[in-house]
A and B are shown apart, each in its own frame.
Chain A
Amino acid sequence: MELDAVLDGVAAVFLVIGGLMSLAAGIGLVRFPDLHSRMHAATKPQVLGLLMLLLAAAITWRSWASVAVTLLAWGLMLLTAPVSAHVVGRAGYRTKHMRADLLTADELAATVDRVSRDPGSRREVDR
């Protein structure tokens, strides 16, 4: 009985933290100025928020088999979220969907300039 109350309390705290992560993502999406800073906010609920909610669910269910499924779901999200964020950020950089005046350092600019002058490069790079 004592342990059940403690586990329920831990699950409740994890639930609220997961909800706060998605709220932070929403506020960041509204408030941040350009694509790449919005992407920074948008990956919060995908990794930490989903982990918190899955842990809360696994604690509530109290079975080790559900922990395995939970870890599978989280691992899948952990593998796919960086790849999709990388692809979106790369497309955003190369199609100039960003605000260059907000950057403090742009280490990709020289490489992209050289690639875009090459006649065999991709069409979406603006020549």
Chain B
Amino acid sequence: MLETAVWITQVLLAAGALCAVYRVYKGPSVLDRVISVDVILVIVASVMLVEMVRSDHQDFIVFVLVTSVIGFLGAVAIARYVVARKPEDAERAAEREAQAAGMGVPEPEAPKNGADAPVMTALPQQEDESTSWFTALAKSGFVPKRGKDSESGSSGQGPGGSGGGSAEGPSERPKGER
């Protein structure tokens, strides 16, 4: 009886993992992928538990412990760095799809801007959706708040810059939490 239950459970877990993998592939935002990967991690821990039940040993229980902590750290770390979704992102995606549909349409800015400009304009079109938040963050001109060395903030890239980066957390936190 336990053997058939183990097989049924493995099939159910595999179906759940496949659904979560589909959401990771399809998911429109980074946060959808984060929660799907979290589900996949829990399913992996469940598969280890079922295997321990089947062959009656306790070797993997430490991995089950570690898995819960890893899922927590990953979700919190990624959710801290999500950028805001803007309405022009949807327009840009629609016009990108239109460009992909009509392949013969030339780009208007390519002859105007010189040699290195097409590299910059072609980059976000090839960008994968899951990593585009990083380029959006890089292009948004985001500068972390500095505590005391704000007058030397833009010029000093050496020890002052790294010190300001570490001092950014506690000065920003109470304002964000209001």
Of the four ranges (under 10, 10 to 19, 20 to 34, 35 or more), the interface on chain A belongs to 35 or more
> In chain A between 11 and 45, which residues have their CB closer than 8 angstroms to a CB of chain B?
11-13, 15-16, 18-20, 22-27, 29-30, 35, 38-39, 42, 45
| A46→B83 contact, CB < 8 A | no
The answer to the question of B85 belonging to the interface, with a C-beta cut-off of 8 Å to chain A, is: yes
Among the listed A20, A27, A83, which residue makes an inter-chain contact with B19, where contact means beta carbons less than 8 Å apart? A27
The answer to the question of B123 belonging to the interface, with a C-beta cut-off of 8 Å to chain A, is: no
| B19→A26 contact, CB < 8 A | yes
Residues of A within 8 A of B50 (CB): 15, 19, 53
The answer to the question of B5 belonging to the interface, with a C-beta cut-off of 8 Å to chain A, is: yes
> In chain B between 1 and 16, which residues have their CB closer than 8 angstroms to a CB of chain A?
1-2, 4-6, 8-13, 15-16
| B35→A46 contact, CB < 8 A | no
Closest CB in chain B relative to A66 CB, distance in Å: 6
The answer to the question of A102 belonging to the interface, with a C-beta cut-off of 8 Å to chain B, is: no
The answer for the CA separation of A50 and B80 in the assembled complex, in Å, is 27
Q: What 0/1 readout, one digit per residue, does chain B (41-80) give for beta carbons within 8 Å of chain A?
A: 0110110011011001010010011001101100110011
Question: Which applies to chain A's interface (DSSP): helix, strand, loop or mixed?
Answer: helix
Asked if A83 meets B68 with Cβ closer than 8 Å, knowing A26-B39, A95-B83, the reply is no
The residues of B with any CB-CB pair to A shorter than 8 Å are: 1-2, 4-6, 8-13, 15-20, 22-23, 29, 31-32, 34-36, 38-39, 42-43, 45-46, 49-50, 52-53, 56, 58, 61, 64-65, 68-69, 71-72, 75-76, 79-80, 82-86, 140, 142, 172, 175-176, 178
Beyond the given A69-B61, A73-B64, A97-B29, could you list 20 further A-B residue pairs with CB under 8 A, ordered by the A residue number?
A9-B1, A12-B4, A16-B8, A18-B46, A19-B16, A22-B39, A25-B16, A25-B19, A25-B20, A26-B15, A26-B39, A50-B49, A81-B68, A84-B72, A85-B35, A91-B80, A91-B82, A121-B176, A122-B172, A123-B140
| Interface CB pairs A-B, < 8 A, 24 | A12-B5, A16-B8, A19-B9, A19-B13, A22-B42, A29-B22, A30-B19, A35-B29, A42-B36, A42-B39, A50-B42, A60-B2, A66-B58, A69-B61, A77-B42, A81-B72, A83-B72, A91-B80, A91-B82, A92-B31, A92-B82, A121-B175, A126-B84, A126-B85
